[in-house]
Structure formats: C-alpha cells, structure tokens
Structure 1
Amino acid sequence: MKKNKMRPYLVQLCFFLSLLCCIKAPYCADYPNKPIKLVVPFSPGGGNDSVARVVAAKLTEKLGQQVFIDNKPGAGGTLGADFSAKSPADGYTIFLGGIGSLAINPVFNKSLPYHPTKDFEPIILLAEAPLIVVATPKLPVNSIQQLTEYMKTHPTQINYASNGNGSSAQLAAMMYESMANVKMVHVPYKGLAPALSDLLSGQVQIMFSSMVAIAPIVTSNRLKALAVTSKKRSSAFPQIPTMVEAGFPEYSTGSWYGLLAPAGTPLDIILKINRAANSCLQDPSVKEQLLKEGAEPIGGTSQQFKKYIQSELDKTLYLFNQQKLDVSN
C-alpha cells in the first residue's frame, strides 16, 4: 500500500530531474553560439595584448566563433580584472589574467574590488616569459653591474618606466632596488606602448619589460639589453646574461598569461575552452609565434592553473614580507 502511495511522487521526481537535464544540456551543448569577448587589462601593443591576439586567432578556428579582444587598461590591470569578474558567468566573457592582476595587486592592494581566486574560474595557463632589462642608448651603461655602480654615484637620477602600478615590471624593478640597495624613480604608464615611446626617446632610462612585446626592438638594437630576469638564459636571446650572472643569485621573476572566466561559469564550458586552448598551443604556428617573442607555451588543466595562481600569490606574499616591497608609488 505504501509503495503505491510513493509511486506518484517518484514519477514526479524523475520527471523533474529529467527536465533539469534537458534544460541544462542544450545551454552548454551548443556553446559557443555567438562571439566571445577576451578582456585584456592593458592597452594594445604590450606583452599581454600580443599573447592574447596570437591565441584568440587560433581559438576562433577551434571554437567556431570569433574570439575578439577587448582592451580595458587601467590601474595595473585592476579595471579589466574587475570588469571580467563581474561579467555574466556564461562563457562569453573570458579574461587574460597574469601576475599583475592575480598575484601582485591582490597582495599589495587590500582594497581590490575583486578576489583573485574566489571571483574567477581558471581555464588554462597559456605561456610564461621572462622580463628583459633594457636601457636607453643615452645611458652610459652596458650591464647590470655598471648600472648598479652608476646609480650609487648618481642616486635617484634614474627613472624607470612600467606599464602601471602593480605590474610585473614594477615588481621586478623593486626586487632589483632591494637586492642592489639602490633607488630609482618609478614612472608608471597606462600600458607598454607609451612607456616604450618615452624609453626610446630618452625621457626615462630603464625598463624591466615583458620580453614578448619588446623582442623586435631589442633585435633591432634600438635599446640596450642588460639582462633577463629568469634563472636561465632565454632561448630567444641566449646572448643576454641573467640577473643571477650579474651577481643576484636569488633574483628570479617574470610574466605569465592565462585564461579565466567569471566564477560560476559551468564546468563543461571551462573544459571546452581548455581543450580548445590546449589544441591551440600545440599548433606549430602558434608555438612559433610565441617562442619567437620569448614566451614559452605551457597549457595543462584548469586545476593545474588554479594551483599555479595560488603558488604565485604565495611567492609574491613572501617577497612582500621579506623585501618589504611597496607598489603604491
């Protein structure tokens, strides 16, 4: 008797569950069915923008819908990150995150309008690249050792450019200042392009720049390359020594680039973009373009990228405490 009374409820429950499956399945099964916005939190012409455009072009082929770039520069990547975090979690807005927006700003700026891990779903780590220390030809130094000696005899006379407060360029410069016991004047710009313009004209003397964006200028010898910030020499510029070789054994930093979506984006959409992006990074033309500009393609799972972001946060916090760094100026 009890079985008969329960049967209508069981039938209704099964119907309800099947209805939920039917509602959700088409939502993700036909994804994407319209263009996808890839937010880059810096202006055109920088390393972030270069990596984004290389990947977006091939991702368009893989996903069957246009992936277009939306540059939203400002506040060292904060404006673009905040916009992306607050976008609909439907897979049609994705974010190109990096060390600035996801590891530096969260450590140095306690009033950020977004949280680097709670407000995003990591998709994939696209690439890593060392920074390169470049100087205007007008500066009478040709190595990091000479730069250090010059600054000790010309205190606070060196201006260094960066693509904004909280950028990887500023963090790299501050690490050098702390380890070399020297002081430079920070001049932040809204993106790499205007910073490079002033560096080339001699308005500023030094920059710790993303190798991805500056490679053609270094190749043409329009700027003097003093060092790379990785532990080992770059395969793109094997002739340029490392900061370690220059006498700073603990010095190591760089840029990295990854795709993220707003928190709450369905897992199957995350996985679909991840598979497509991994396929892009295996494409010979994409590999060649990234490597030529000094970026090493990485790839992997969304969970691996999630752990990577946390490790970068932990490393930046350690530097913050050990070196007493401050990116507020």
Structure 2
Amino acid sequence: MAKLSFIARALLICGLSSTCCIPAISQSDYPNKTVKIIVPFPPGGTTDIMARISAEQLTKTFKQAFVIENISGGGGVIGAERGANAAPDGYTLVMTGVGQNAVAHGLDPNLKYDSLKDFAHISLIDLGPNVLVVNPDRPFKTLKDIVDYARANPGKLDYGYTYASSGHMAMELLRQATSTCADIKKKLNCNPLPLVGIPYRGGGPLMNAILANEIPLEFINQDAALPFVQAGKLRPIAVSSLQRNPLYPNVPTVAESGYPGFQALSWAGISAPKGTPKPVIDKLEAAMIQALQTPEVRQRLESVGFVVPTPGSAAYVSFLKSELDQWVALIKKSGIKPE
C-alpha cells in the first residue's frame, strides 16, 4: 500500500473517530492569522474604545493582528447576532455588553441569539456607572429635588434616553425605586415617578439636547459625562454604582440618596461564538487576564472612571446571569415595549 500523506492519514482517522485531531493541530499555533473583533456599534463610542484597547493588548501578546470591524444597528443586536453566528474557529470575536446581551432579552421577543448559550464568554473588560446629570440652568441640586418636583408636577418633567441603553434602564430603575405605593410595606398599587421620557437616536443627539437645555436631565455613562461636568456644562446629581466613583468623589450614589441597593452599570466584555475550541478560549482568557492586570490598561480604564472588573470567563458568566435577571425582570415590571 502506498504511503498515505500526513493529511490523508489525519482525514482517515477523523472519518473513523468522533474526535478529529486536525482542530487540535490548528489550535496549537493559534492565532496564525488576523483575528477580527466585531464591535456592534459605530466607531468612537465607549465599546469601540474598549475593543481597540483589547485588540492592542492581544496583538502584543500573540504577535498577530487583532482588528476591529464595526457592525452597528439595532442597539448592538445586529453585530451581536453576526458574532454569534460566526465560524467558531477563534478568528472572529465579538464585543458583548449590557444593551445587546442583557437588556435585549427583555425587549425583543424575537431575539435570534441567547446570550448565555450562543457565546463563549472570555472576560469582562470594564464596569462603569451611569451619572444622573442635569443642565446647570435647571434648579435641581439633589436627587430629592428631582423626585419632589416630579411628584408635585406629574408629567411636567422630561428626561432623555437612548433606547435599550444602560442609561435608559437606569432611569426606569429610578422611576420604580421612587414609586409611590398605596401599600408601602407590601409594595402594592405602586405608581412610578411620573417623568416623561424623550427618546433620542444615539448618544450624540442626546448629549446635544441636554447641553442645549432642550431636556433637563438624563442618565449617561460616566466617561461621556466627565468632560462636560469638568467644564461646568452639566451638573452631576448621583451615580448609579453602589460605591462612589473616584472621578466623582463629591457626587453621592443613588443608594446613598435614599434608595439602598440601587445599581445600574454600563459594561462591556469580549466573547466568541459558541463552539470555539476550549484551548483557544483558554488562550484568549489568559491573555485578557494578563492585559487587565497591566498598569497601562488599568490606568487607561480608571482615568475615565471605569472600574477594572474581576477578569476571566467564570466571573463574566456569573455577572451576565445577574444582569439578565435584573433587566429582564425590570422590563417586564415596567411594561417597556420594543421600539
């Protein structure tokens, strides 16, 4: 019998066994070509910036290019779906986050992916609060000022939001937390704080609206608010994390302001399609853990108010489960409908 080539012998073995050795061979030198990271938002936003920081570090670690592909639309859902359906070979990764991987499950009954089942999650990258801000021409100085005015003037106080964002969820959580109930102890017959939501198509138009005093208040990511707060163009009222943010040391948390346990975070992580070989995921996880422990990356995150999360796959999956539980329940309770 003529000698079989190495590849032919490998194919024969694969045909006779349920476990094929060829993927293991390709995994040993992973990555040996360019890796794409799908960002489900336009360039320049927070998720895009986090992806580029990650790509830079992964490129250094593996000595192979990690490049960004922006696929925006649907509040991140279109890009997330593309990532979930990509070939599970480790050469397509996707940025996952609060909107497209937690909030979307409560808002879209026809969502074409399951954030727990259809991804292999590698690591969280950042955690950050939203900041409740007002235009400085408005009289509100505290959260109590806002709540008291809204209760005394039902339907006369507006807020801005972008659909399905962490800021949108933070405001709805606040409306529920500050609701008035006929039976306070049992929380029965409750009416949310009577604010009027004004939707905006994107963070840029939303920011422009509050700076122009078209809307009085909004929740916005701490990094986006920071330069305007520092310039005196926005007044911070409260942050939505359980602890105060180091860049807003004099701004109380919503929890401190009378609503214990209140938390609504913005976050992003990096994931791969389900079925990506475990050795590949392990390599990427180790690289991200290393990256998030470097002083350079920590400084870049903390300089704009992010908290460096516990890295790694297990921590990410646990966190994602808690986020799914929180936001799906809130959306159901609030009756928010898909736009």
Alignment TM class, shorter chain as reference? 0.7 to 0.9
Q: More helix by proportion, 1 or 2?
A: 1
CA distance in 1, matches of 2:335, 2:44: 28
Quote how far apart the aligned CAs of 1:227 are: 0.5
Of 269, 277, 284, 2:288 maps to 277
Mapped pair 1:286 → 2:297? yes
CA distance in 1, matches of 2:240, 2:289: 27
Quote how far apart the aligned CAs of 1:162 are: 2.7
Q: State the secondary structure of the residue aligned to 1:56.
A: helix
Mapped pair 1:258 → 2:269? yes
Q: In 1, are the aligned partners of 2:106 and 2:329 still within 8 Å (CA)? A: no
2:75 corresponds to: 76
Where do 5+ consecutive residues of structure 1 fail to align? Answer: 1-11
Q: In 1, are the aligned partners of 2:105 and 2:328 still within 8 Å (CA)? A: no
1:142 corresponds to: 141
1:175 corresponds to: 173
1:216 maps to amino acid: P
CA distance in 1, matches of 2:294, 2:88: 28
Quote how far apart the aligned CAs of 1:243 are: 0.7
Of 281, 298, 313, 1:302 maps to 313
Of 212, 215, 219, 2:230 maps to 219
2:6 corresponds to: none
CA distance in 2, matches of 1:231, 1:136: 24
Where do 5+ consecutive residues of structure 2 fail to align? Answer: 1-11, 179-191
CA distance in 2, matches of 1:309, 1:289: 24
Q: State the secondary structure of the residue aligned to 1:296.
A: coil
1:3 corresponds to: none
2:338 corresponds to: 328
Quote how far apart the aligned CAs of 1:143 are: 1.7
Q: State the secondary structure of the residue aligned to 2:20.
A: helix
Instruction: Map residues 88-237 of structure 1 onto 2, 5 A cutoff.
Output: 88-163=87-162, 165-180=163-178, 181-237=192-248
CA distance in 2, matches of 1:232, 1:213: 19
1:203 maps to amino acid: E
1:177 maps to amino acid: R
2:20 corresponds to: 20
CA distance in 2, matches of 1:13, 1:74: 44
Change in Cα spacing, 1:138 to 1:83, as seen in structure 2 (3 Å) is farther
CA distance in 2, matches of 1:263, 1:85: 7
Q: State the secondary structure of the residue aligned to 1:124.
A: strand
CA distance in 1, matches of 2:131, 2:119: 29
TM-score by structure 1 length? 0.86
TM-score by structure 2 length? 0.84
Q: In 2, are the aligned partners of 1:73 and 1:191 still within 8 Å (CA)? A: no
The number of residues matched between the two structures is: 315
CA distance in 2, matches of 1:70, 1:187: 31
Give the alignment's Cα RMSD to 1 decimal. 2.5
Q: In 2, are the aligned partners of 1:42 and 1:190 still within 8 Å (CA)? A: no
Q: In 2, are the aligned partners of 1:106 and 1:112 still within 8 Å (CA)? A: yes
Deviations 1:129-187 (A, max 9, x none): 11111122232212211122232344334333333x22211111111112223233333
CA distance in 2, matches of 1:159, 1:14: 63
CA distance in 2, matches of 1:208, 1:257: 18
